[in-house]
Amino acid sequence: MKIYVQLLRLANPFLRTETHKWLAASMVFSVLLVVVRIFYTSTFTFIFLNWNLFLAFIPYAISSFAEDNATWVKDRFRLAALLAAWVVFIPNSFYIITDLFHLGISNVPLWFDLALLLSFAWNGLLLGILSVRQIEKIIHSIWPRLHELFFLFPIMCLNALGMYIGRYLRFNSWDVISNPLELVGDISYLVLHPLASKPAWAMISCYAVLMTFIYLTIKKISRTIS
């Protein structure tokens, strides 16, 4: 019983509003879909999605912590550390979109796998959008005259780059520590040889613009209906 109490205390900061509660319920639903699929097929094909969702939650946890701890925001060194960690992990939230590539023919009804993959992609997007919004508000409090696109579009370019190197180059956030030389080498090649990397930059540009539109649209809608 004690361990459940401790888990509830840890979860409480992220369940303090209706938005947090519905987001948590949506994430639980995604995990349950994977559990159902495991029982139905006796395979663990999509169990990796749970890990991807956890990675998507990390930047949201970081930005929520920053939003709730003003002393960290006022301390430029602590804030820099938080932002550095956030920048490393935020692409994971949007990366789950590319897991839709796994949709295909299997012994599971296609509609079920589509719902499963869409639910994870949706939750990843929500976590990413909420997290970016939290950091945007912090940045705005420091530089109130900074136009939103000067913060937003570079972040979405970073997310799109992370989606590409994660999906096609098979790197992840941990490689920043465990395999930095190879990671920097491959990114440097993309930057130094843009003509040879046209397919990569096409994807990165497309998704950067797409995610910018998604973020701004949801942001404007939330203001309209609130």
Dmax of the chain from CA atoms?
59
Triad 147, 133, 23: Cα angle to 5°? 160
Q: What is the pLDDT of residue 99?
A: 94
- Which of the residue ranges 2-16, 117-131, 143-157 would you say has the lowest mean pLDDT? 2-16
- For residue 35, which amino acid is it? V
Q: Closest by alpha carbon to 115, among 179, 196, 9, 32? A: 32
| Confidence category of residue 12, pLDDT binned at 50, 70, 90 | low
pTM of the predicted structure, to 2 decimals: 0.89
Q: Closest by alpha carbon to 131, among 221, 191, 193, 218? A: 218
CB atoms within 10 A of CB 140: 13
Tokens of 40: 């139905």
Distance, CA of 72 to CA of 76 (rounded, Å): 8
Is residue 7 predicted with pLDDT exceeding 50? no
Distance, CA of 212 to CA of 157 (rounded, Å): 9
Reported as a single tens digit per residue, the pLDDT across 21-68 is 899 999 999 999 999 999 999 999 999 999 999 999 999 999 999 998
Distance, CA of 85 to CA of 90 (rounded, Å): 9
CB of 186 closer than 8 Å to CB of 165: yes
